Structure 1
Amino acid sequence: MRANVRKMMAVSAVTLAILSGSHAVAFAETTDPTPAGGGELQPGPPPEEGENGFTPASEQEAELPTTTGKPSEMPAAEHCAAKNVYKPTANLGRKHEGIGIAQSNYNDASRTLRSWFKAEVGGEVKLTHSGELKASAGVVVAELEAKYSVDLSVSVTAKMGNEIQIDTPPKKTTYAKYGVWRLKNTGTSYTIYSNCRTSAKSTVTTLTPWYVGWYVWER
């Protein structure tokens, strides 16, 4: 019995390895090779988006300007419901907005180990844009969802405590950054007046919250 207990303790000591890194623990679990928590290994560190000029999108429509040539004064003229418009034109893919610093875990063992990361900070990520956006954030979300068949939000809150596990090969470091994935898109924004004329069209780039998740890479 004592021999069996000593053998079990020795096996436990080998199977659990705590490696150097930042807020991460690696377990020698190899039964499930699929990363848990929606982990997807990226080709490298998250790119710097350089979001200078991006501002939070308003949840209110821009004020509609007064126009001339009203149908009541010109019976032969067309009549339109005045409104602000946003139309998506190009899907630029998903981009990650990190919350807090990246965590890392180095595997100094001779076999693959499981790294386990846990979010220690949370935060809110809102829809942002560059360019003159006349339509509300809600209109932008509705147009993007209809165009690309995705579920987006005006804002998303990433909460603390979210966890992810992913395999780390021998002599490699796994990095993980918690945050919100966003859809990057370009589109046009303009106003339709009551006489059916339109304002000049503005090119707008939007970053719209999509889902909470991790950006994971290794080197």
Structure 2
Amino acid sequence: MSGPALATEESPAVSVASEEDLVINTAPPQEPEESVTDVPDASVTQVPNDPVTDEPTYTGKPVPGDTPNAEICDRAAVYSPTSQGAQYHRAVGPTNANYNATSRTAKSTFTSEVTGEVGVSVSGDLQASVNTMLLKIKAKFNITVSAKLTAKLGNSISVDTPSHRTTNATYGVWRLKHTGVSYVLYSNCKTSTKKTIVSYSPYRVGWYLWES
């Protein structure tokens, strides 16, 4: 017995699942806890009408008109990650399901039916670019997250379905949750209000499975 399959001219790739992929959950994937907005094509967001640098620089030199001891900095949009959370699954395409009506364990095979991209989602007003945010996350947590990942048509996975149970499966992208602080550093070395930013960044492509 198997879940829906979509015919394709190319041979579907069989999923090489890790132990994490093969975890059979007891509920559908969790949604982000916060109200988040998808970042279109991971575009760069910067302080309007003012060039910014990835890192603030203190020169220690006064500018004309300032007091002798005035400080100046390169204006910059700053992001600093503070914590890393759980993985959240973003589905691409429909949920497949297979009910085992027999008295024995049966094999369920699921095949992804569409190709789709998943990008970064954030809460709040991220001042720095997405690429800067991802680099800061990598540096702090020694983990690589991406601006976007593609879940492709034709990937398959096979799992055991217990007797009189339903196995459900969605294919898509796992995203990692991070919390950080975003603000603007002005040329006089003062900062704007520091805002907490929650982000969900693509980490890996794979399946989410649960029984009901």
Whether TM-score is above 0.5 comes out as: yes
Q: Which residue of 2 is the match for residue 49 of structure 1?
A: 32
Whether 1:37 and 2:17 are equivalent positions in the alignment is yes
**CA 1:44 to 1:53, structure 2 compared with 1: closer, same or farther past 3 Å?**
closer
Q: Secondary structure at the match of 1:60?
A: coil
CA-to-aligned-CA distance 1:174-193 (integer Å, 9 cap, x gap): 10001100011221100112
Q: Identity rate of aligned residues, in percent?
A: 41
Please name the residue that 1:174 is paired with: 167
Report the equivalent of 2:194.
201
Secondary structure of the residue that 1:100 maps to in structure 2?
coil
2:106 pairs with 1:116: no
Q: What are the Cα deviations for residues 80-127 of structure 1, in whole angstroms up to 9, with x where unaligned?
A: 222111112232311111111110111122222221111011101111
Give the Cα–Cα distance (whole angstroms) in 2 for the partners of residues 41 and 47 of structure 1: 14
The separation in 1 between residues aligned to 2:154 and 2:47, in whole angstroms, is 42
Which 5+ residue runs of structure 2 have no aligned equivalent?
6-14, 51-60
Q: Which amino acid in 1 is paired with 2:26?
A: P
Asked whether the equivalents of residues 122 and 158 of structure 1 are also in contact (C-alpha less than 8 Å), the reply is: yes
Q: In 2, distance between residues paired with 1:212 and 1:98?
A: 10
Distance in 2 (CA, whole Å) between partners of 1:36 and 1:105 is 20
Corresponding residue pairs, total: 187
Alpha carbons of 1:53 and 1:94: their partners in 2 closer, same or farther (altered >3 Å)? closer
Q: Does 1:83 align with 2:76?
A: yes
- Quote the residue 1:125 is aligned against: 118
Aligned AA for 2:29? P
How far apart, CA to CA, are the structure 1 residues paired with 2:191 and 2:110?
Answer: 51
Structure whose alpha-carbon radius of gyration is higher: 1
Residue type of the alignment partner of 1:56: V
In the alignment, the residues of structure 1 paired with residue 146 and residue 105 of structure 2 have an alpha-carbon distance, to the nearest angstrom, of: 38
Paired amino acid for 1:63:
V
Change (3 A) 1:182 1:43: same
The answer on whether the counterparts of 1:129 and 1:207 sit within 8 Å (CA) in structure 2 is yes
Map of 1:55-204 to 2, 5 A cutoff?
Answer: 55-56=38-39, 58-63=42-47, 71-73=62-64, 74=66, 75-204=68-197
Tell me the residue number matched to 1:14.
Answer: none
RMSD in angstroms over aligned alpha carbons? Answer: 2.3
Distance 1:101 1:50, change over 3 A: farther
5+ unaligned residues in a row in structure 1: which ranges? 1-17, 25-34
Corresponding residue for residue 4 of structure 2? 23
Aligned-pair CA distance for 1:36:
4.9
Q: For residue 101 of structure 1, what is the amino acid of its counterpart?
A: P
Q: Distance in 2 between matches of 1:151 and 1:48?
A: 22
For structure 1, which segment, 143-152 or 132-141, has the greater mean C-alpha deviation from structure 2 after superposition?
143-152
Indicate conservation of the 8 Å contact 1:37/1:163, yes or no.
Answer: no
Give the Cα separation in 2 of the matches to 1:64 and 1:190.
Answer: 13
Higher helix share: 1
**Deviation for aligned residue 1:51:** 6.4
Q: C-alpha displacement at 1:48, in angstroms?
A: 3.6
